[in-house]
């Protein structure tokens, strides 16, 4: 294990080459894409989606296939898109 300190001063240990601070990551995920579970948020972030309006680059069927995106996540995304009058990509 390697002990690290992030730029915000959080101390953490990592056994992998990943240098992401778990505390910072939790805070970031908490504030992004409200209503979604962490696995769904990570899946969206992995595809460059940080807010619901970014989803327009993908179709509903594409998003539904991603690891971490289940039926509930698709439903929550769709509700948010509809509430903000944002369509899925065809």
What average pLDDT does the structure give for the chain?
A: 89
Q: What is the pLDDT of residues 74-88, one digit of tens each?
A: 999 999 999 989 999
pLDDT band, very low/low/confident/very high, at 73 (cuts 50, 70, 90):
very high
Q: Which CATH number fits domain 34-90: 1.10.10, 1.20.120, 3.30.420, 1.10.150?
A: 1.10.150
Burial bucket for residue 41 (CB in 10 Å: 0-12, 13-18, 19+): buried
pLDDT, mean of residues 7-24: 86
Question: CATH 1.10.150 spans which residues of the chain?
Answer: 34-90
pLDDT band, very low/low/confident/very high, at 25 (cuts 50, 70, 90):
confident
The pTM of the full predicted model, rounded to 2 decimals, is: 0.69
pLDDT, mean of residues 29-57: 87
Q: Is the separation of the CB atoms in 75 and 83 below 8 Å?
A: no
């Amino acid at each position: 294990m390697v002990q690290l300190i992030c730029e915000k001063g959080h101390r953490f240990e990592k056994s992998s080459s990943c240098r992401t601070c778990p505390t910072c990551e939790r805070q970031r995920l908490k504030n992004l894409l409200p209503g979604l579970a962490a696995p769904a948020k990570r899946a969206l972030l992995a595809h460059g989606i940080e807010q619901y309006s970014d989803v327009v680059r993908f179709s509903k069927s594409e998003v539904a296939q991603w690891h971490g995106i289940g039926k509930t996540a698709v439903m929550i995304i769709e509700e948010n898109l509809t509430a903000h009058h944002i369509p899925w990509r065809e």
